[in-house]
C-alpha cells in the first residue's frame, strides 16, 4: 500500500489516483495521523502531500515524531511533495524560509546533477506545475539538490541512501509534463513496489468481503437511485449473494422523461437485478403542492423517501419471512476521506458535500448494517468496475442527477400547471440535441429549468404569453466548482427553435452563462 498523508493540498486526491492508475493500491490519511494508524496500512511507500500551510507557522501539521526513524528502520521510501518536501527539510535539520518571489503556475525546472529520483532517462529540463510561497534555503545533512527552477530555487532533493526524496512542484497534475513518469520511476525503480491492483482484483475481493459479512440466510436491501454508484454497488452485491438482494426504485414523480421505464429496463434486462418499482408520485406530489421554498421541498422529499423505504423494508420482510439486516450503499472514497485540520482548529472534517445533498440518504436509526463495496473507490474507478460487470457504457457515462430530481429544476411550486411535463419535454429535446452533436461526454452536466414566469411572444402570427425555460450546461470535475459550457451559437439557436416549436407553453429560451461560484449548478 502507498500511504499518502494529506496536508490539505487541492491535488492530494490526485496523488492517490495517479498511484492507483499505475496499478498500486493507495490510501489517503489525514496528515496528523499517528504512527499506529499509518503502520496499520502496512505502507510500502509514504508520500507527504502539498498543503496551504507554512511549515514554520505554529501548529503547522506534521508527521509523528518517530516517523523518519520508523521509515528508516523499515526501509520505507518517502516522497514529499511541495509542503511535504518542506516538512522533510525542516524536520531533518535544514531550513525553509518565505521565498523572495513566490512561484505559481507552469514553469521549467532543470535537473542539476545525476540522481536516483530522476534516473538516467529523464529530460534535463521539463515543464512543471509549481505552487509555493516558501523555499528550502538550507538542505539537511545527507541531502543533495537535484533540481532547480529558473530563479534558482531548490525544487528537487534526495537522500538516496535513506530513500527520502522531495519535489517542490506537483508531479501529480497533468501540467507537469513528466510528472507521471517521475511517480512511476519512484514507485517501481526506487521503491520497487509491484503493480497488482486491478479492477478485477477489486471485484473479486469485494465479492469475497460481501460474502464474508452477509451470512447465508441473511437478506440485503438496496435503494437504486437510477445513478451509477448505486447500480454498480447493487450489481456487485448481486454477484455475491444472488437474489437475497432486494432492490427498489422509487418513482417519486420528479423523474425525467420516461426515466422510470428506461432505468427499470436497464436494471432488469441488462443487469438482471431483482428490482421492485414503487410508484410514489401521487403521494409525494400531493405533499409538495404549494411548497415553493427549495429547502422545504428537499426536506419533504427526503422525509417521504424514508417513509417509502420503511414500507418497502416491511414488504421484503413479509415476502421472505426474514428481516433484512443489511443495506447496500454506493458510498465512494471521496465521501469517507478525512482531511487534516487547519492549524488552530481541533475539528476534524471530511470532504463531504453540502448537507442539503443528502436527500435519498437513509438514517442510521433504521438499524441496518451497511454494505459499501465502493467505499475505497474514486468515481472513475467505479465506472471501470461497472464496465467490468457489463454495466452499459451509456449508463456509466450519464450526467449526475440530483436526488430531489426535477423539484430543484422547476422553480417554485413543482405542481404548478403543466410545469413538470413542460420541463420533461424541453429537457429531452435539449439532451438529445447534445447527444446528436456528440457533446454529451464533453459536458459534466446539462439540464433544463422551468421558470415560473411568463413572457410575451409571437408564434404563428399570434401574440402569446407563455413560459420561459432556462438551459444549463457545465464543465466541472466534481461539481464543487463549475464553468458554463460554450456551445456554438448555431447549436443554441437550433435547440431554442426546436423547443419553441415543439413544446406547447414555451415561447422563450435563455442560456445560463454563470459559473459556480457565484452560482450553484442547480437553480435551487
Ligand atoms: P449545486 O447546485 O449545489 O450542485 O452546485 C452540485 C452538484 O450536486 C447536485 N445536487 C444534488 N444532489 N441532492 C443530490 O443528490 C441534492 O439535493 C442536490 N442538489 C444539487 C447537482 O445536480 C450537481 O451535480
- Considering the domain architecture, whether residues 457 and 355 belong to the same structural domain is answered as no
Confidence of residue 100 (pLDDT cuts 50, 70, 90): confident
The stretches of 191-242 forming alpha helices (DSSP H) are 199-213, 228-241
Rounded Cα distance between 136 and 145, Å, is 10
Is 402 part of any domain? no
229 annotated binding-site participant: yes
231 annotated binding-site participant: yes
Q: Which atom of ligand 1 is nearest to the CA of 358?
A: 13
- Considering the domain architecture, whether residues 96 and 245 belong to the same structural domain is answered as no
Do residues 424 and 257 touch, judged by C-beta distance below 8 A?
A: yes
- Considering the domain architecture, whether residues 149 and 81 belong to the same structural domain is answered as yes
Distance of CA 275 to the CA centre of its chain: 26
Do residues 470 and 449 touch, judged by C-beta distance below 8 A?
A: yes
Residue 82 annotated to the active site = yes
Do residues 341 and 348 touch, judged by C-beta distance below 8 A?
A: yes
- What is the reported pLDDT for 349? 43
Rounded Cα distance between 146 and 196, Å, is 31
- Considering the domain architecture, whether residues 371 and 417 belong to the same structural domain is answered as no
Least confident of 66-80, 119-133, 237-251: 119-133
Q: In what order do the strands lie in the sheet with 369-371?
A: 275-279, 245-251, 220-224, 326-328, 369-371
Residue nearest to atom 4 of ligand 1 (CA): 521
253 annotated binding-site participant: no
496 annotated binding-site participant: no
Q: Which atom of ligand 1 is nearest to the CA of 400?
A: 24
Q: Does 453 have pLDDT greater than 60?
A: yes
Residue 172 annotated to the active site = yes
List the CATH number of the domain containing 353.
3.40.50.620
- Considering the domain architecture, whether residues 272 and 374 belong to the same structural domain is answered as yes
Q: Which atom of ligand 1 is nearest to the CA of 225?
A: 15
Residue 145 annotated to the active site = no
Q: Does 50 have pLDDT greater than 90?
A: yes
Percent of the chain with pLDDT over 70: 96
List the CATH number of the domain containing 49.
3.40.50.880
- Considering the domain architecture, whether residues 23 and 92 belong to the same structural domain is answered as yes
- What is the reported pLDDT for 261? 97
DSSP per-residue string spanning 88-126: HHHHTT-EEEEEEEEEEEEEEEEE-S--TTTTTTS-SEE
- Considering the domain architecture, whether residues 98 and 209 belong to the same structural domain is answered as no
Q: Which atom of ligand 1 is nearest to the CA of 408?
A: 19
230 annotated binding-site participant: yes
- Considering the domain architecture, whether residues 45 and 173 belong to the same structural domain is answered as yes
What range does the domain containing 344 cover?
Answer: 199-396
Q: What separation in Å is there between the alpha carbon of 401 and the centre of ligand 1?
A: 8
For a mutational test of ligand 1's pocket, the pick from 302, 398, 479, i.e. the residue with the most ligand atoms closer than 8 A to its C-beta, is 479
Q: Does 350 have pLDDT greater than 60?
A: no
Q: Does 106 have pLDDT greater than 90?
A: yes
For the segment 472-505, what is each residue's pLDDT rounded down to a tens digit? 999 998 888 899 999 999 999 999 999 999 999 9
Q: At what angle do helices 379-388 and 199-213 cross, to 10 degrees?
A: 90
Give Cβ neighbours of residue 182 (< 8 Å, ≥ 6 apart): 117, 118, 122, 167, 171, 176
Q: Does 347 have pLDDT greater than 90?
A: no
Is 524 part of any domain? no
DSSP per-residue string spanning 116-171: TTTTTTS-SEEEEEEEEEEEEEEPPTT-EEEEEETT--EEEEEETTTTEEEESS-T
Confidence of residue 344 (pLDDT cuts 50, 70, 90): low
Is 517 part of any domain? no
Q: Does 4 have pLDDT greater than 50?
A: yes
Q: Does 378 have pLDDT greater than 60?
A: yes
The cell numbers describing 83, all together, are 509542503
The residue that leads in pLDDT, 122 or 157, is 157
Q: What separation in Å is there between the alpha carbon of 522 and the centre of ligand 1?
A: 6
Residue nearest to atom 10 of ligand 1 (CA): 402
Q: Which atom of ligand 1 is nearest to the CA of 523?
A: 2
- Considering the domain architecture, whether residues 13 and 158 belong to the same structural domain is answered as yes
- Considering the domain architecture, whether residues 213 and 324 belong to the same structural domain is answered as yes
Residue nearest to atom 9 of ligand 1 (CA): 402
- What is the reported pLDDT for 346? 53
Mean pLDDT of the chain: 94
- Considering the domain architecture, whether residues 219 and 132 belong to the same structural domain is answered as no
Least confident of 124-133, 191-200, 334-343: 334-343
Question: What is the complex's ipTM, to 2 decimals?
Answer: 0.99
Do residues 81 and 47 touch, judged by C-beta distance below 8 A?
A: yes
Whole-structure pTM value: 0.88
List residues near ligand 1 (CB under 6 A): 298, 354, 356-357, 359-360, 400, 402-404, 408, 445, 479, 516, 520-522
Is 146 part of any domain? yes
Question: Which listed residue (170, 185, 219, 246) is catalytic?
Answer: 170
For CA atoms 368, 233, 214, 375, the dihedral sign is: negative
CA–CA–CA angle 145, 146, 151 (5° rounding):
75
Greatest Cα pair distance in the chain: 86
Question: Which listed residue (172, 259, 381, 524) is catalytic?
Answer: 172
> Using the 8-state DSSP alphabet, how is residue 174 labeled?
T
Percent of the chain with pLDDT over 90: 87
DSSP per-residue string spanning 380-399: HHHHHHHHHTT--HHHHTPP
* Domains held by the chain: number: 3
> Using the 8-state DSSP alphabet, how is residue 374 labeled?
T
Rounded Cα distance between 376 and 292, Å, is 38
CA-nearest of 227, 222, 257, 286 to 430 is 257
For the segment 145-173, what is each residue's pLDDT rounded down to a tens digit? 999 999 999 999 999 999 999 999 999 99
Amino acid at each position: 500500500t502507498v500511504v499518502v498523508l494529506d496536508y490539505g493540498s487541492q491535488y492530494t486526491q490526485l496523488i492517490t489516483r495517479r498511484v492507483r492508475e499505475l496499478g498500486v493500491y493507495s490510501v489517503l490519511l489525514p496528515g496528523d495521523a499517528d504512527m499506529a494508524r499509518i503502520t496499520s496500512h502496512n505502507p510500502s511507500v509514504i508520500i507527504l502531500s502539498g498543503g496551504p500551510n507554512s511549515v514554520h507557522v505554529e501548529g503547522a501539521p506534521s508527521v509523528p515524531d518517530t516517523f523518519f526513524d520508523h521509515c528508516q528502520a523499515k526501509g520505507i521510501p518517502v516522497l514529499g511533495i511541495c509542503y511535504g518536501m518542506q516538512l522533510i527539510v525542516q524536520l531533518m535539520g535544514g531550513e525553509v524560509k518565505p521565498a523572495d518571489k513566490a512561484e505559481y503556475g507552469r514553469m521549467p525546472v532543470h535537473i542539476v546533477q545525476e540522481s536516483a529520483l530522476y534516473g538516467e532517462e529523464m529530460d534535463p529540463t521539463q515543464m512543471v506545475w509549481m505552487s509555493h510561497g516558501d523555499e528550502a534555503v538550507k538542505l539537511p545533512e545527507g541531502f543533495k539538490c537535484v533540481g532547480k527552477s529558473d530563479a534558482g530555487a531548490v525544487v528537487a532533493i534526495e537522500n538516496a541512501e535513506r530513500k527520502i526524496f522531495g519535489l517542490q512542484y506537483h508531479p501529480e497534475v497533468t501540467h507537469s509534463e513528466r510528472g507521471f513518469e517521475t511517480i512511476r520511476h519512484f514507485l517501481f525503480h526506487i521503491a520497487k513496489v509491484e503493480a497488482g491492483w486491478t479492477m478485477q482484483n477489486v471485484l473479486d475481493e469485494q465479492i469475497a468481503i460481501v460474502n464474508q459479512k452477509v451470512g447465508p440466510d441473511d437478506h440485503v436491501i438496496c435503494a437504486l437511485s437510477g445513478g451509477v454508484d448505486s447500480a454498480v454497488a447493487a450489481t456487485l452485491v448481486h454477484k455475491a449473494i444472488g437474489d437475497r438482494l432486494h432492490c427498489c426504485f422509487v418513482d417519486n414523480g420528479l423523474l425525467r422523461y420516461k426515466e422510470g421505464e428506461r432505468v427499470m429496463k436497464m436494471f432488469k434486462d441488462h443487469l438482471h437485478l431483482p428490482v421492485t418499482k414503487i410508484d410514489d408520485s401521487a403521494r409525494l406530489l400531493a405533499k409538495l403542492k404549494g411548497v415553493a421554498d427549495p429547502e422545504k421541498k428537499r426536506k419533504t422529499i427526503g422525509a417521504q423517501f424514508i417513509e417509502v423505504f420503511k414500507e418497502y423494508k416491511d414488504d421484503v420482510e413479509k415476502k421472505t419471512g426474514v428481516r433484512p439486516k443489511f443495506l447496500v450503499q454506493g458510498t465512494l472514497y471521496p465521501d469517507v476521506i478525512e482531511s487534516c485540520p487547519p492549524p488552530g482548529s481541533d475539528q476534524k472534517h471530511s470532504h463531504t458535500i453540502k448537507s442539503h445533498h443528502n436527500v435519498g440518504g437513509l438514517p442510521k436509526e433504521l438499524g441496518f448494517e451497511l454494505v459499501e463495496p465502493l467505499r475505497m473507490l474514486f468515481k472513475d474507478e467505479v465506472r471501470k468496475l461497472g464496465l467490468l460487470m457489463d454495466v452499459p457504457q451509456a449508463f456509466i457515462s450519464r450526467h449526475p442527477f440530483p436526488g430531489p430530481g426535477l423539484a430543484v429544476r422547476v422553480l417554485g411550486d413543482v405542481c404548478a400547471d403543466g410545469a413538470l411535463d413542460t420541463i420533461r419535454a424541453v429537457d429531452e429535446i435539449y439532451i438529445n440535441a447534445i447527444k446528436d452533436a456528440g457533446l454529451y461526454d464533453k459536458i459534466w452536466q446539462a439540464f433544463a429549468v422551468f421558470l415560473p414566469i411568463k413572457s410575451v411572444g409571437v408564434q404563428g402570427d399570434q401574440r402569446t404569453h407563455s413560459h420561459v425555460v432556462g438551459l444549463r450546461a457545465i464543465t466541472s470535475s466534481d461539481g464543487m466548482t463549475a464553468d458554463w459550457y460554450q456551445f456554438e451559437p448555431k447549436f443554441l439557436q437550433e435547440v431554442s427553435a426546436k423547443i419553441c416549436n415543439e413544446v406547447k407553453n414555451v415561447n422563450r429560451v435563455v442560456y445560463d452563462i454563470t459559473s459556480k461560484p457565484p452560482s450553484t449548478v442547480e437553480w435551487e
